[in-house]
Amino acid sequence: MQKINWYPGHMKKTKELIQTNLKLVDVVVELLDARVPISSRNPQIDEIIIGKPKVIVLNKSDLANPKTTNEWIHYFKKSGINAIAVNAMNGAGLDKLTAELEETVKIKMEARIEKGMRKRPVRAMIVGIPNVGKSSIINKLTGKKSAKTGDKPGVTRGKQWVRLKGNIELLDTPGILWPKFEDQNVGLKLAFTGSIKDEILDIETIALRLIEYLCDKYPEYMKERYKLKMIEEDGLVNMENMAKNRGCIISGGRIDYTRIANVVMDEFRSVKIGKITLETPDDLESAMDE
């Protein structure tokens, strides 16, 4: 399998864009994939937003293990950061997000009024890696009849503020960050969840790595879904048994590895195997101890 790389040129440009517009916002929304909260965040984000108040949004919570999602929310809260689970496809959790944004900057807004400044909407910016649902969330938050509130001083030409439900304005900028793939496991997990296009990867190897993980962490799910009598130690043997049970066979009785690979990837992403989270707070704490 080829090495998955990150793009420092793109990263530098995006970092500068965010920093340029950061002074215009009151709060940052950091968007993560609820299935991979560690791998779907850029490790430089806190440095980039320079201590600006932040709310974490765990999107795609409908695809993740609800128990583990709650563990993540509790973990972030202990770290002094409020986190909310949402589903951008149906809008679940987004009302709670708008309320949380207002609460996060409540003291700042009250201080403005005490100084005799006029009341204004809360201004927010969303940052996140590609394919975690930024556009879907913005579309749900703004609604079809969202009104652009016009250019603000100091904003790069073409950037717009859009009014959200509630007293909130969103700076509609391409707040996209690429993660650093120094740890190849990060690249693998983003490939599992579809954040990296399948076309640039070896799908058979990616699927084998996913099978190995799922057979280790979710053996009962795998046995039930793929009619496995038992989980073997060798991941390739499990993959071959799954292929036989699904009829992924080509002439001569040989295993069709590409077909079973695509089946597993599709069924994982469509939650047919089960609601699965690939990273837990314990994983993060273990990595920090190493």
Query: 12 and 115: one domain?
Result: yes
Query: 152 and 229: one domain?
Result: no
As a whole-number percent, the residues of the chain with pLDDT over 90 amount to 49
The range of the structural domain enclosing residue 23 comes to 8-172
* Average pLDDT score, the chain: 86
Number of domains in the chain: 2
Q: Given a cut of 70, is residue 54 above it in pLDDT?
A: yes
Query: 163 and 47: one domain?
Result: yes
Q: Confirm whether residue 286 is marked as ligand binding.
A: no
Q: Confirm whether residue 90 is marked as ligand binding.
A: no
Q: Confirm whether residue 23 is marked as ligand binding.
A: no
Beta bridge partners of 85: 58
pLDDT given at position 154 = 36
Q: Confirm whether residue 229 is marked as ligand binding.
A: no
Q: Confirm whether residue 135 is marked as ligand binding.
A: yes
177 lies in a domain?
no
Measured CA to CA, the distance from residue 102 to residue 230 in angstroms comes to: 51
Confidence grade of residue 151 (pLDDT, cut at 50, 70, 90):
very low
CB of 138 within 8 A of CB of 126?
yes
Angle at 192 between CA 191 and CA 194, to 5 degrees: 60
Query: Looking at residue 4, what DSSP letter applies?
Result: P
**Mean of the pLDDT values across residues 40-67?**
91
Ranges 148-157, 195-204, 209-218, 226-235: which has the least confidence: 148-157
Q: Confirm whether residue 62 is marked as ligand binding.
A: yes
Ranges 48-57, 192-201, 221-230, 239-248: which has the least confidence: 192-201
**Mean of the pLDDT values across residues 10-16?**
76
Q: Confirm whether residue 132 is marked as ligand binding.
A: yes
Q: Confirm whether residue 13 is marked as ligand binding.
A: no
Query: 208 and 158: one domain?
Result: no
Reported pTM: 0.86
3 state DSSP class of 194:
coil
CATH number reported for the structural domain that contains residue 246 in this entry? 1.10.1580.10
Measured CA to CA, the distance from residue 47 to residue 43 in angstroms comes to: 9
Query: 39 and 163: one domain?
Result: yes
Q: CA-CA-CA-CA torsion for 130, 73, 217, 128, nearest 10 degrees?
A: 10
107 lies in a domain?
yes
184 lies in a domain?
no
Tell me the per-residue pLDDT of 227-266, one tens digit each, with 9 for 90 and over. Answer: 999 999 999 999 999 999 999 999 999 999 999 999 999 9
Q: Given a cut of 90, is residue 129 above it in pLDDT?
A: no
Query: 103 and 219: one domain?
Result: no
Query: 37 and 132: one domain?
Result: yes
Query: 146 and 226: one domain?
Result: no
Query: 47 and 115: one domain?
Result: yes
Q: Confirm whether residue 61 is marked as ligand binding.
A: yes
158 phi-psi bin (left φ>0, alpha ψ -120 to 50, beta other): left
Query: 207 and 168: one domain?
Result: no
